[in-house]
Amino acid sequence: APLCYFLYHLLNEYSSENLFFFIELEQFESFSYASLGQQLATAQHIFNTYLTRNSYFEVNLDDKVRRTVTESLEKKNAKTCFESAKRAVYSLLESSYMRFQNTDVFQDMVNQCGELTAHYNDESRAAAVNKLLAYVEQQHLKIYASGNPTAVFQSTTIRRHELIKSMIHEFCRTLVGVEFNYYTPDTSTSSSISEEESDHNNGSAPGTKFRHVGFPNFGNGSSANKKR
């Protein structure tokens, strides 16, 4: 749960990609791959997402680190290809965490979560996830409040916002054990529309409402056992 508050801070610092990248590297290192080819394909996907110039989630690492990763991938050294990148992004996260400790959000985390522990109750987890949902809703309204959002925001901004929504959803599902939907049916109309159609229509299509914070549905199964 505390990790949600740190992610909220990073989102406002425009550096959430650092945490997403670090988490992906942790998962990459711990996963058992069926073949070297599968491992290399996954490594290339991570590289394309976070280390390619002008990607939506480009991490601010120096060229030396990028070259080291590229050379390792060319040599098919998938096992250790991200070692230097992981150290570099961890350093960035440490700097962000130092700033995080001096924010009101950090105090909110302390008040809601108390002492650090391996498990948090449903109330603490709900409050943590709702913090992220509040951020997403705020950004959603900024982008889609006007009838024609593309006239105000570049398409890249809209695309990044939608990708962040997806990554936050996966973050909450797999690491916090909380499952939710961003949209909830609007029972005041007879129209029915899927979440994907709602996204396609910039989140303002009839028949849906953006889900307000306070209504996460807690998931069951293996994901619910991973609480942070």
pLDDT tens by residue, 107-148: 999 888 876 666 778 888 888 999 999 999 898 888 877 665
Structure tokens of 182? Answer: 């961003």
Query: For tokens 């709702």, what's the residue?
Result: 130
pLDDT at 212 over 80: no
Looking at residues 207-218, what average pLDDT do you find? 38
> What mean pLDDT, rounded, does the chain reach?
79
CB 81 within 8 A of CB 43: yes
Whole-angstrom distance, CA of residue 205 vs CA of residue 196: 11
Q: Give the C-alpha separation, 204 to 191, whole Å.
A: 13
pLDDT surpassing 80 at residue 183: no
pLDDT tens across 42-93, in order? 999 999 999 999 899 999 999 999 999 999 999 999 999 999 999 999 999 9
Q: Is the dihedral of CA 125, 163, 61, 30 positive or negative?
A: positive
Percent of the chain's residues with pLDDT above 70 = 75
For residue 167, pLDDT over 90 is answered with yes
User: Which is more confidently placed, 189 or 174?
Assistant: 174
Residue 3 has pLDDT above 70, yes or no: yes
Mean pLDDT of 10-24: 96
Predicted pLDDT of residue 6: 95
Residue 71: per-residue pLDDT: 96
Query: pLDDT tier at 176 (50, 70, 90 boundaries)?
Result: confident
Residue 155 confidence (pLDDT) above 90:
no
Lowest mean pLDDT across 19-23, 113-117, 152-156, 168-172: 152-156
* Residue 196 pLDDT level (bands cut at 50, 70, 90): very low
Q: What is the pTM of this model?
A: 0.78
Q: Which two tokens stand for residue 61?
A: 């690492």
- Please give the DSSP secondary-structure letter assigned to residue 216: P
Distance between CA atoms of residues 112 and 175, nearest Å: 18
